[in-house]
Amino acid sequence: MSMTADELDKRQAIIDACRRMNALGIHQGTSGNISVRMAGYGLSEG
């Protein structure tokens, strides 16, 4: 399955947000989940 530019951008945004949250110390344990809904499916990190 090939990814669109939009999906790649959203995936990179999730990575960037996770890195910022980790730097702030708010991405540990049971907090700090991130998700993006796209047509037909979702992308998430948790």
17: CB partners within 8 A, 6+ apart: 34
Give the C-alpha separation, 45 to 32, whole Å.
9
Query: pLDDT per residue over 4-42, tens digit each?
Result: 898 899 889 989 988 998 898 887 776 667 877 777 776
Tokens of 14: 């999730």
Q: Report how many helices (DSSP H) and strands (DSSP E) the chain contains, helices first.
A: 1, 2
pLDDT for position 44: 64
pLDDT for position 26: 84
Give the C-alpha separation, 18 to 24, whole Å.
10
Give the C-alpha separation, 16 to 10, whole Å.
10
